[in-house]
Amino acid sequence: MCTYNGAKYLSEQLDSILQQDYPLLEIIVQDDGSTDETWQILESYSQKEPLIKLYRNEGIHGINGNFFSALKHASGDYIAISDQDDIWEKGKISKQVDSIGNNLMCGGFSKPFSSDGFPIKWDSRIPCLHLLRLSFLSEIPGHVQLIRRELLEYLPMESTCPYLYDWQLQFMASAAEQLVFTDEVLVNFRRHANAATASKPVSNRGWEGIRTLFFLCKNYRILRDFSAQRFSIVKDFIEHLQQESPIFHTQSTKQVLEMANLYISTGFTNYIKLVFFCLKHHDKLYHAPTKWWKSILRAAYFPLYSLNYYRGIVK
């Protein structure tokens, strides 16, 4: 667990971890310069619970720096990542350990809830974990990831990749085709305005869908440029992984490299090639399965619609 000014909800999360029905080896908590009562709460718990090991950063490391640094303190074969403000189900760890098998990562459902009126939306469909899908955005939040410790040995761009630690970890596991999912709610995911990843749900149906189309057309160039930059990073990430280990020379990485080159390239001909690529691989691009005819129509639109994932860069 990494903490930063999390005193308000910290005790509930620590209690839910301590109540797990799986025998825990250690609970590592690393604080990133909190200025509230977070550290005092942690010290109080560590005095009562010898499993809890505390670390305190000198200066602020940020989300990625804090998590990657904290992960290196772990000594167990399995590592579960935790936020500071959620509530775990009692059987979270045991169910994931049972499910992971010989794979590098196991995910599961985290069900959002709000205690302060923050808007929430929960999608109970099992997400697509194919590498093509994960090239665009994260499907398994860090707070519900259980990984094998060896996954950390393959990190190729820890300090240079601009994307969050949880995306990097699940992308690596999927690149090796060793990512599995537990079809149960494992974490109660607290949504509140002060959370580091707070964002309100967005709908793209009805009039909102038409507004999205106009937004994409209006901002096509800036979004297209950003998309090309992102896939340049994705391409570098995969190539670094393939230098680290042969387990990343998979059909999935081959497909993503092909798609990345199409997103990086410009011109109408390459756009048409990208459309045909999306049509061919339509079953691997969406969050969850849909009717075949609808899937085909969405695939033709996907090279444009996928730019909407990066709408946050437009002011």
Judge whether 251 lies within some domain.
yes
Q: Could you tell me which residues come within 8 angstroms of residue 144 by beta carbon, excluding any fewer than 6 positions away? A: 107, 108, 109, 110, 186, 187, 189
What mean pLDDT comes out for the span 236-255?
Answer: 97
- Per-residue confidence band for 31, with pLDDT thresholds at 50, 70 and 90: very high
**Any domain includes 104:** yes
Supply 214's token pair.
């106009």
For the residues 169-190, what does the mean pLDDT come to?
A: 97
Residue 201 domain-assigned (yes or no): no
State whether 172 and 256 are in the same domain: no
Does a structural domain hold residue 256?
yes
| Full domain range(s) for residue 41 | 2-190
CATH of the domain at 71: 3.90.550.10
Residues 56 and 129 in one domain: yes
Strand partners, 222: none
* Burial classification of residue 18, based on how many CB atoms lie within 10 Å of its CB (0-12 exposed, 13-18 middle, 19 or more buried): middle
pLDDT of 57 strictly over 70: yes
Other residues' Cβ atoms within 10 Å of the Cβ of residue 238 = 25
Q: Is the pLDDT of residue 121 over 60?
A: yes
pLDDT at 200 over 60: no
Q: What confidence tens digit (pLDDT) does each residue in 65-74 have?
A: 889 999 999 9
- With H, G, I as helix, E, B as strand and everything else as coil, classify residue 132: helix
**pLDDT tens-digit profile of 66-112?**
899 999 999 999 999 999 999 999 999 999 999 999 999 999 999 99
Domain count, the chain: 2
